[in-house]
Chain A
Amino acid sequence: MSLLSVRDLSVVYEPRGGEPVPAVTGANFELQQGDFVGLVGESGSGKSTLGFALTGLSKPPARVSAGSILFDGVDIANLSLADLRVQRHGGFAMVLQSGMNALNPVRSIRDHFYDIFAAHGHVSRIDREDRAVELVGKVELPSSVLDRFSGELSGGMRQRVSIALALSLEPKLMIFDEPTTALDVLVQHAVMNTIRELQASERFTAVLISHDLGMVLEVTERVMVMHEGLIVEDNTAAAILAAPQHPYTQMLLSHYGDPRAEVVEVPGLAVRGTARAVSSDVPGREGRAAREAIVVRGVSKIYPPPRRGEKPVRAVSDVSFRLEPGASMALVGASGSGKSTIAKMITGVERPTSGTISFGDLQVDTIKRRSLKRLHTEVQMVFQDPYSALNPLHTVEYILTRPILNFSKRRGQDARRRVLELLDTVGLTPAPQFAARLPHQLSGGQRQRVVIARALACEPQVIIADEPVSMLDVSLRAGVLALLNSLRETWGVSMLYITHDLLSARLVTDQIMVLNQGAVVEEGGTASVLQNPQDDYTIRLLEAIPHPQVGR
């Protein structure tokens, strides 16, 4: 008998007084003891909803509307809450997406373990401490973390603690819902390795829910692909990699590329082999093509110590570069490498501790409030999170009108024409329809286009894009990247592209700088640096990228 048998399972969202919306429709599959299965889909595909249903965590407005989930022969879809709770010991466990917040901030890690032991009574009082130490040891943490609170742990450590807590239930089935998404690239890699090793040694059945097909193909044996609530493909990882059957799987797979390859190609984006020279005869309209370079010389930024008795934080140390007019440069590194601090200093938000930054005749490092406006008409930011970069109370038209009124002399109908033109530029057509919408009525990709349109409103020479696609689904990324590319090629805008994602850096930039702990460890042409990395850190970053092929 299989461990888990899901038959015709449907889950609907029933908002109060609203029409029910199907989230998962007719899911059918079986899992055997010891399986490691991936569940892949983009946001809204129903993969998390399915994961919650499998662990009996569906909460209103979500409701299992049909079908059964037989776990060890018991239908958990129709179990009372009290029975379900008892089942969790030796049954099914879940590691949540945002492991960062999965721990109670006011209880110590030890308390978390003791709470679980007390709830199920499977570890006697005298054995509690030893068992907790053993469990944190399994996720490669020292026993001293037991005395800590979640606020004192790093993101990777917190996620490890969550995994240890889930393990303490001695589960037969573990569901990992995007367990590494919120973590840093290198940490992601390490946590994923721990999960793999644990699965192999403890022999629990594991389901890995992720948006990242590359990672899932690398670590799991079997993959289920979900799209709009349906499982559209269910096959071994090798088979999916070799011959994806469903068009959706094919589309997802086509967006993967190796940034080290000779030629990197992604649908919707031009082939980028070796670096191209920026053509000098840009047909740009007047006032758009970049004329000035950003020159950063020996810049360091030291923040005062976060707490008394600690050392000052050296966020950026002695960084120098030149962003030529019309050029595109990538600034890559893990979080904490200082890349966003550099962006803040270039836009005048932060001042460097030492060194100089200039843009044309503007001395950015010592800029006065009055000149700041002039700087901002020329240098604009595109933010990482399109969901929080737009005020939810204002229409797109209002959002775009603000910078036009602030930075240009256009008023009234003229300003409105400009709004529509901007929406056209970023590919949101028909423009008048999009102008009237509120941010929540747009998808993530559309929102990011609005953010880009807003940055373009004052016709800047330079765009600083801080992880512009990291929050977007794979299928939407290509579109936004293509837009950034075309802005540069048609209008000659320069771009500083900040990211931890080497593939997208390869796709949209010609130059690259790799930052590690505030210092530049490697720089050069994007293609040549990625194909032939010299620094150990760059090599580790490249190795952390999931390589489906390598994993086989």
Chain B
Amino acid sequence: MRFLLTKVGLLALTLWAAITLNFLLPRLMPGSPADAAIAKLAQNGPVSSATRASIEAQLGVPTGSMFDQYLQYLGNVARFDFGVSYTFFPQSVAGLVGAALPWTLVLVGLVTIIAFIAGTLLGVLAAWKRGTWLDTLPTVGGTFASAFPYFWTALLLLFFLGYVAGWFPTSGAYGRGTSPEFSAVFLLDALYHSILPATTILITSLGGWILGMRSTMINTLGDDYVTFAEANGLRPRTVAIRYAARNAILPNLTSFGLALGGVVGGSLLVERVFNYPGVGYLLYTAVVNQDFPLMQGLFLIITISVLMANFIVDILYGILDPRTRR
């Protein structure tokens, strides 16, 4: 219980630090977005004071002391008010991010979890049946598949399965005829659209999990408690799962935490290739269009998701390893 409270406290503290940094960083930069926009316009000729006033009104010019601004900012964050996007004016940043987040979380998040579980199981099997085809096949196959660059696998799949064979849609998260709603037709359509991007992520990340789990598992198989468990005549399955794998998985949880944290921020490439309307695609759009409010909102979401992922893994660690509970 105390372990949990400490972790929650730590999470609250890091969250506050991240939110505060997100407030401070843009203010440490010289100039303001309004100045930048006016300077751009000034290259084409003089800027009238009316134009200046309207730009400042649109982008907002900070008023009050830093502390007042900070309090106001905290209030906005609490209400999920991150302002209005330039690119998708007049849509709010919160609305845009809220619409994109589920796509990324479901596609990339779920596939990352599936890849971790499947890769870990295959790794356990490979180590337990070391030297047999159950070892060789996943190990060599995994290494081969993960050796391809991410986007290259994506393009290959797109070209052959999407374009040449025409089995799968080549872009988007759902077909033109459907719109997001909670119906079987839409869900099936979304699932159909997600197969290619999901396969890409699975192919490229599976090998790492297999190899990582296999090597830690081989180490734990040589540990004394495994030999002792065998000497005590425990069933092979118990020895493999509860003794060897249970300990071998611990170091891999850390990498899993990093991978989970990278889900929201790291989905850019795959979402760009597949025109998938997730956070990565949104971030790409925001950067290309210099959409500062959108970027700031996205950065905050990415930071929070990394923190949350680490929090989850910390808790998982606490459940799985009694040594960390103290």
Contact = CB atoms under 8 A, between A and B. Distances in A.
Interface of A: 55, 57, 81, 85-89, 93-94, 96-98, 101-108, 115-116, 118-120, 149, 151, 162, 165-166, 168-169, 307
A410 to B, nearest CB: 43
A102 B242 contact: no
A89 B234 CA distance: 10
Nearest to A88: B233
Given A103-B228, A119-B238, A165-B232, 4 more contacts: A88-B232, A96-B227, A119-B234, A119-B235
B132 to A, nearest CB: 13
A265 to B, nearest CB: 39
B246 A115 contact: no
Given A93-B231, A101-B223, A115 B238 contact: yes
B247 to A, nearest CB: 6
A104 B322 contact: no
B157 interface: no
Given A104-B243, A106-B320, A85 B235 contact: yes
Interface string B212-233: 0000000000011101111111
B48 to A, nearest CB: 65
Given A105-B247, A107-B242, A115-B238, A169 B232 contact: yes
A168 B238 CA distance: 17
Contacts of A98: 224
Interface of B: 223-225, 227-236, 238, 242-243, 246-247, 250, 320-323, 326
B211 to A, nearest CB: 20
Contacts of A94: 228, 231
A81 B232 CA distance: 13
A169 B233 contact: yes
A190 B21 CA distance: 59
Most buried by B among A55, A103, A115, A149: A115
Contacts, number: 83
B230 A116 contact: no
Contacts of B229: 104, 115
Nearest to A82: B236
Give the top 8 A-B pairs by smallest Cβ distance, nearest first: A88-B233, A101-B224, A102-B228, A94-B231, A149-B322, A104-B225, A119-B234, A85-B233
A104 B224 CA distance: 9
A106 B247 contact: yes
B246 A119 contact: no
A268 B23 CA distance: 76
Nearest to B231: A94
B228 A307 contact: no
Contacts of A108: 322
A149 B231 contact: no
B322 A102 contact: no
Contact of A116 (B233, B236, B321, B326): B233
B232 A119 contact: yes
B323 A105 contact: yes
B233 A120 contact: yes
11 contacts: A55-B231, A57-B231, A88-B231, A105-B225, A106-B320, A106-B321, A108-B322, A115-B232, A120-B233, A149-B322, A168-B232
A13 to B, nearest CB: 15
Given A104-B247, A105-B225, A115-B238, A96 B326 contact: no
Contact of A96 (B224, B238, B243, B322): B224
Contact of A86 (B233, B238, B247, B323): B233
Contact of B232 (A93, A105, A307): A93
B51 to A, nearest CB: 61
Contacts of B231: 55, 57, 88, 93-94, 96, 166
A106 B232 contact: no
B326 A307 contact: yes
Contacts of B232: 88, 93, 115-116, 119, 165-166, 168-169
A526 B230 CA distance: 47
Nearest to A81: B236
Contacts of A87: 233
Contacts of A107: 242-243, 246
A85 to B, nearest CB: 5
B247 A89 contact: no
A162 B326 CA distance: 24
A278 B232 CA distance: 57
Nearest to A87: B233
A88 B228 CA distance: 12
Contacts of B323: 105-106, 149, 151
A169 to B, nearest CB: 6
Given A151-B323, A307-B326, A103 B225 contact: yes
Contacts of A162: 228
Contacts of A149: 322-323
A105 B325 CA distance: 13
B1 to A, nearest CB: 15
A118 B237 CA distance: 12
Nearest to B322: A149
Nearest to B232: A116
Q: Which of B228, B236, B242, B322 has the most CB of A within 10 A?
A: B228
Given A101-B224, A151-B323, A119 B247 contact: no
Contacts of B236: 81, 85
Nearest to B223: A101
B234 to A, nearest CB: 5
Contacts of A93: 231-232
B224 to A, nearest CB: 4
A149 B322 CA distance: 7
Nearest to A169: B232
Contacts of A115: 229, 232, 234, 238, 242
B91 to A, nearest CB: 49
A101 B225 contact: yes
